[in-house]
Amino acid sequence: MSNTQVHSETVIETPRVPTIDMKLEIVVIPVLDVDRAKEFYANLGWRLDADYASGDDYRVIQFTPPGSNGSVIFGKNVTAAAPGSAQGLYLIVSDIEAVRNQLLDRGVEISEVFHDAGGLYAGTDEPYLFGRLRLSGRDPEHRSYRSFASFSDPDGNGWLLQEITARLPGRVDADATTFTSPTELSAALRRAAAAHGEHEKLTGEHDEGWPNWYAEYIVSEQAGKPLPV
């Protein structure tokens, strides 16, 4: 009997296909007033990558959020979608209160920070995450993935800030630790400092090796590995 036969049945082995890199880099958002949208996204502090027009019938503008590998484009005759119909566009941040305050300083109308109601998926709240209910304030346990704030552009396209401080296992390369901005790194250092303070309370003594402890904590947190105690 061949190694592809079991109990007189033939098992079809699926050939392994090499992984092909496919990077998501562009999201199209539909707007009505192109110049108004351009002013709004510029005011967010996003980088203007392109503003290209071809005659009077076509114009495309591209912006990239700070620290992001992905960009948004909008313009004239770029998409047939209704203006404002793009919803649930996620912006991942490491310190949601700090980012929210920055947006407020720029004059952006943004919701209070909120968290979900623990698996409830129906209600009158503005929908997000497939209709989960919103509860005021950050997640009480300050868990990663659980705290949000929302805002919209002038056309009504909806954005969500989501605070992620530790990735679930498998979400990032366990052998690589990267930070996309000084703000993101400083937030990681603050979390490590707070955790290290608890570590020293447990040991009852000053830890001379704190730099190594910080490094292990930050790398483990980003990779979704167990944190040092």
Are the C-beta atoms of 149 and 97 separated by less than 8 Å?
no
**What tokens appear for 174 in the block?**
């366990």
pLDDT score of 65 more than 90: yes
186 or 96: whose pLDDT is higher?
96
pLDDT score of 228 more than 80: yes
Residue 4 pLDDT: 39
> What is the average per-residue pLDDT within 150-176?
82
Reading phi first (left if > 0) and then psi (alpha if -120 to 50, else beta), residue 204 is in left
End-to-end Cα separation, the chain, in angstroms: 53
5 or 97: whose pLDDT is higher?
97
Domains in the chain, ordered, with CATH?
A: 23-85 (3.10.180.10), 87-165 (no CATH), 182-223 (no CATH)
Residue 120 pLDDT: 63
Between CA 153 and CA 42 the distance in angstroms is 12
Residue 106 pLDDT: 96
Lowest-pLDDT range of 69-83, 116-130, 141-155, 162-176: 116-130
The 10s digit of each residue's pLDDT in 50-59 is 999 999 999 9
Are the C-beta atoms of 32 and 83 separated by less than 8 Å?
yes
Look up residue 83 and give its DSSP letter.
T
The 10s digit of each residue's pLDDT in 11-29 is 455 566 677 778 899 999 9
The overall average pLDDT reported for the chain is 83
Predicted model pTM:
0.69
Residue type, 108: V
